[in-house]
Amino acid sequence: MQDPVNSSPPHESSQAERRLQRSVEKNSILVMRDITKTFPGVNALQDVTMEVERGTVHAICGENGAGKSTLMKVLSGVYPHGTFDGTIELDGQPVQFKSINDSEAAGIVIIHQELALSPFLSIAENIYLGNEQAKRGWIDWNKTNLESAKLLKRVGLRDNPITKVTDIGVGKQQLVEIAKALSKEVKLLILDEPTAALNDDDSAHLLELIKQLREQGITSIIISHKLNEIEAIADRVTIIRDGKMIETLEMQSGDVSEERIIRGMVGRSLESRFPDHESQPGEELLRIEDWTVHHPIDRQRKVVDGASLSVKAGEIVGIAGLMGAGRTELAMSVFGHSYGSNISGRVYKRGVEVKTNTVPRAIAAGIAYATEDRKRYGLNLIDDIKRNISGSALGKLSRFGFVNDPEETTVANRFLKSMNIKAPAVTAKTGKLSGGNQQKVVLSKWMFADPDVLILDEPTRGIDVGAKYEIYTVINRLADEGKGIIVISSELPELLGICDRIYTLSEGHITADVPRSEATAEGLMQYMTKYREVDA
* Interacting residues with another protein (CB under 8 A): 39-40, 335-336, 338, 359-360, 363, 369, 371, 376-383, 387, 391-392, 394-395, 398, 401-407, 409-410, 413, 416-417, 423-427, 445, 449
- 10 Å CB burial of residue 334 (0-12, 13-18, 19+) is buried
Minimum Å distance from CB 334 to another protein? 13
Cα 237 from Cα 58, distance rounded (Å): 6
Q: Using the minimum distance from each CB to another protein, give the nearer residue, 352 or 382.
A: 382
Beta bridge partners of 169: none
Minimum Å distance from CB 381 to another protein? 7
Minimum Å distance from CB 356 to another protein? 12
Torsion of the alpha carbons at 320, 321, 323 and 329, rounded to the nearest 10: -80
Minimum Å distance from CB 395 to another protein? 8
Minimum Å distance from CB 264 to another protein? 24
Q: Using the minimum distance from each CB to another protein, give the nearer residue, 138 or 402.
A: 402
Cα 22 from Cα 182, distance rounded (Å): 29
Contacts of 314 (CB under 8 A, 6+ apart): 279, 280, 281, 282, 479, 480, 482, 483, 484
Q: Using the minimum distance from each CB to another protein, give the nearer residue, 387 or 468.
A: 387
Cα 96 from Cα 100, distance rounded (Å): 11
Minimum Å distance from CB 48 to another protein? 19
- 10 Å CB burial of residue 382 (0-12, 13-18, 19+) is exposed
Whose CA is closest to 330, among 363, 297, 381, 290? 290
Minimum Å distance from CB 104 to another protein? 19
Q: Using the minimum distance from each CB to another protein, give the nearer residue, 65 or 391.
A: 391
Measure Cα distances from 484 to 288, 310, 477 in Å.
13, 9, 11
Residue 463's φ and ψ, nearest 5 degrees, are -120, 145
Minimum Å distance from CB 185 to another protein? 29
Q: Which of the 8 DSSP states describes residue 534?
A: P
Q: Using the minimum distance from each CB to another protein, give the nearer residue, 282 or 395.
A: 395
Cα 508 from Cα 531, distance rounded (Å): 9
For 443-485, give the DSSP string: HHHHHHT--SEEEEESTTTT--HHHHHHHHHHHHHHHHTT-EE
User: CB–CB of 339/333 below 8 Å?
Assistant: yes
Minimum Å distance from CB 39 to another protein? 6
Q: Using the minimum distance from each CB to another protein, give the nearer residue, 199 or 338.
A: 338
For 295-352, give the DSSP string: -SSSTTSEEEEEEEEEEETT-EEEEEE-TTSSHHHHHHHHTTT-S-EEEEEEEEETTE
Q: Using the minimum distance from each CB to another protein, give the nearer residue, 50 or 467.
A: 467
Q: Using the minimum distance from each CB to another protein, give the nearer residue, 159 or 407.
A: 407
* 453-457/367-370 β-pairing: parallel
Number of Cβ atoms within 10 Å of the Cβ of 123: 29
Q: Using the minimum distance from each CB to another protein, give the nearer residue, 134 or 425.
A: 425
- Give the three-state DSSP class for 101: helix
Q: Using the minimum distance from each CB to another protein, give the nearer residue, 127 or 442.
A: 442
For 376-408, give the DSSP string: III--TTSBHHHHHHTT-GGGGEETTEE-HHHH
Minimum Å distance from CB 370 to another protein? 9
Minimum Å distance from CB 380 to another protein? 4
Q: Using the minimum distance from each CB to another protein, give the nearer residue, 144 or 430.
A: 430
Cα 83 from Cα 36, distance rounded (Å): 9
- 10 Å CB burial of residue 299 (0-12, 13-18, 19+) is exposed
Minimum Å distance from CB 412 to another protein? 9
Q: Using the minimum distance from each CB to another protein, give the nearer residue, 384 or 464.
A: 384
